[in-house]
Amino acid sequence: MPNYICVTCGNQYAATEAPPLHCLICEDERQYVNPRGQSWITLDELEREHHNVVRSLEPGLAEIGTEPKFAIGQRALLVQAANGNVLWDCVSLINKATIEAIEALGGISALAMSHPHMFGSMVEWSQAFGKAPIHLHSDYKQWVQRPDPVIEFWEGESHDLDEGLTLHRCGGHFKGSTVLLWPEGAEGRGVLLSSDTIHVAPDRRHVSFMYSYPNYIPLAASTVDAIVDKVMPLKFDRIYSHFYHLAIEADAKGAVQRSAERYKQAIGIRS
Ligand SMILES: [Zn+2]
Ligand SMILES: [Zn+2]
C-alpha cells in the first residue's frame, strides 16, 4: 500500500489502499486545499519529474530543496553539529541520489521539525538513515499523519539534542512552533534556524510573524512579544528561515527587535 503525499502541503500519510479523502493540514485555516480539489501523489511518481538539490550555505550547514518546486517549496537544512548531523525540517522527496549526497556529508543522526507544514516525508527520511529519531514537540501529536515509533515527542519549553543543538518552543504560528539553536554556526556567533516561526522577509533585513502566511492572518502583539522574549536570551547573530535565500546574515537579534516593533505599529498596538 502506498504512503500518499498531499500535493499542496507535501505531508506523507500512513499507508492506505486508496488516497485519503482529506488532508487535515490543508483543511486547517492556516493552509488551503488545492483549488483543483484535494490531490495526492506517491513518492515514485514524485521522483519521476523532481530531484533534490543539496547546497552548502556555510561551513557545517547545507540546504536541501526539491526542484522544480513541489508543495510549499521549503528547504530542509542539514546541520553538521559537534556530535552528529541533524536534519531540520524536511521535504517530501527522498531518493537514492539524495541519500548518497547526504551520506557524503556524514548522514543523519537525528531529525527535528519546526511545525506540521514542514513534516514532508519525515518518517521515510528517518528510515533511510537507520531510523534516526525525529524530535517533535508534544503539541504536534494531533498533526502527525504517519505515526511511527521513530517519532519522539518532547515536552516543555526547550529540548537539548545529543548532537549539541537545542530546540526551543516559541509558539505563534503553531502552539508548538519550534526553532533550533546552533551555537557553533556563523563562525561561532551562533545561528538560529527559525523556519516560519520567525519568517525572514525578502529584503533580508526584517522578519515577520504570522498565524497563517498563505491566508494572511496576523498574530496578536502579545504573541509576537512572547516569541521575541523567547529568542532574545539565546546566543545567535544569524537566522535562516525555510525558503531559499532567506537569511539575515548578521545582527539578527536587532532585526527581530526592530521588526517586532514595526509589526506591532502596523497592527495598531503602537501609534
Ligand atoms: Zn495537505
Ligand atoms: Zn507554516
pTM of the model: 0.97
What number of helices (H) and strands (E) belong to the chain? 6, 19
Mean pLDDT of the chain: 97
| pLDDT at position 82 | 82
Of 165, 108, 173, 174, the residue nearest 141 (C-alpha): 174
How do the domains of the chain map onto residue ranges? 5-266
Q: What CATH number is given for 5-266 in this structure? A: 3.60.15.10
Distance 248 CA to ligand 2 centre (A): 19
The set of cell numbers assigned to 181 is 539553536
Expressed in angstroms and rounded, the spacing between residue 213 Cα and the centre of ligand 2 is 7
Q: Angle 89-40-63 (CA atoms, 0-180°, nearest 5)?
A: 25
Q: Decide: helix, strand or coil at residue 166.
A: strand
Residues at Cβ < 5 Å from ligand 2 ion: 117, 196
pLDDT at 183: 97
Residue 44 has pLDDT above 80, yes or no: yes
- Is 271 a residue whose pLDDT tops 70? no
- How confident is the model at residue 270, as a pLDDT? 60
Q: Which of 161, 231, 163 is nearest to 192 (CA)?
A: 231
Cell 528510515 belongs to 127
